[in-house]
Amino acid sequence: MTTYSFDFAYAYGKPVAKAVIRSCPEDFQVEETIRFEPTGEGQHVYLYIKKRNTNTEWVAKQLARFADIKIRDIGYAGLKDRNAVTKQWFSIDLAGKPEPDWQVFNNDEYTIETVTRSTGKLKRTAVKENRFTLVLRELEGDIAELESRLQKIKQEGVPNYFGEQRFGRDGNNLIVADDLFSGRGKLKKHQRGIYLSAVRSYLFNQVLSRRVEAGNWNQAIAGDVMQLAGSHSCFLAEEITDEIQQRIQENDIAPTAPLWGRGELQSVNTVRQFETDVISDFQDWASGLETAGLKQDRRSLCTRLNDFSWDFNENSGLTLSFGLPSGCYATSVLRELVDY
């Protein structure tokens, strides 16, 4: 495979407006919320840091250098955009070491807003929600239709696509993965994960795109695997009852598609056949993921936006505000609204 299509289906049709995003870092703001409150005690210092135009891993390295500890003793719950203003938690294991003066760490690129402590290292699974405030500039097009889409998205959500950043510039992550599967490339263990995840995400997007085309991306089909909102817990829905439909409407559960790997698909009947047929077009990649040791998992097909609001301004701009669960992409919301 040498060319990759990213023309995934739109739930509400192709955008009827266009705009510019990320004119400056302040136009793309993200605030992270984790699933628990730090205890206030323990050997791990927890820092809530506001950063501008810097990526998460780079800030983690600066923290390790400043506190004179190894990078493995730094924890963070999620990777945040570089070209943005973001707030997120970091943990620092200071067992047996004096606590530095954190105010000295601050500069124009990053500032510590909260200092506390807790008992364990911050893990990648700790993110509860990311809150976005996005400013779209130079907006033009069918504004009435755009407003209609905003209302639909508020009510129904958007397809839970992995964002384009997952695949690298011009799909480069997929190209590297293709070389890896064919034996043309070798990578260190921590590097392999990036490229394997890109392939897995691409296969998921393909299944989701076909469900969007069929108009059932946010509806249950007999044989679907349903996922509880805010959880990785799933169950098989061999029959679609009124209760299942009601729970989907209330955003308590959602249908899923596979994150490919070893093992049997959890879905059954026509859903399993549908998923198998889509993946069969990418059999080399599916086999590569299995050989690499990844296990079958599931991901929700749709995501709802929390506290979604918007505001048009007189200078051809639009400000969006919404929360998304961990692992969901703001660009998957934007792509349904505007060409950017």
In Å, what is the CA distance from 166 to each residue of 21, 123, 162, 198, 306?
Answer: 18, 20, 7, 6, 23
Closest by alpha carbon to 78, among 117, 125, 113, 121?
125
Whole-number Å distance between alpha carbons of 103 and 117: 16
H or E segment at 30? strand 28-34
Q: Count helices and strands (H / E) in the chain.
A: 8, 15
Beta bridge partners of 110: 51
**Residue 81 appears among annotated catalytic residues:** yes
* Strands (E) located in 122-219: 127-141, 158-159
Containing 269, the helix (H) or strand (E) segment is helix 269-280
CA distance 208 to 159: 7
Residue from 153, 193, 189 nearest 173 by CA: 193
C-alpha closest to that of 109 among 53, 31, 60, 46: 53
Buried b (16+ CB within 10 A) or exposed e, 244-253: beebbeeeeb
Within 119-213, strands assigned E span: 127-141, 158-159
Instruction: Considering the candidates 27, 73, 81, 93, report the single residue annotated as catalytic.
Output: 81
- The token pair at 132 is 């976005």
Catalytic machinery residues: 81
